[in-house]
Amino acid sequence: MIDNLKIINFLQDFSYARLRYLQQLNDVPSDNLKSILLCNVVSKKGDIFVHNTKKIDEDKLVALDILCNIRTD
């Protein structure tokens, strides 16, 4: 079971994250996490989940990708 509040809080802190990293962080590799979109606090742009009060910054997204890759290696 997914803890939607945990994911929303993560997105509020980090602004956005790729689907695969949210799946890895929450140990739900086959879940598409669509249930968190029902709360109207998070939107999805491609494979990126974005907190509605934030904008995607490509440099920050690359940094987040690097951090998530280090954690999963």
C-alpha distances (whole Å) from 22 to each of 42, 55, 73 are 13, 18, 15
pLDDT digits (tens, 9 = 90+) for 10-53: 888 888 888 988 888 888 888 888 888 888 889 998 888 988 87
8: its two tokens: 């929303």
Please give the single-letter amino acid code of residue 63. A
pLDDT at site 27: 85
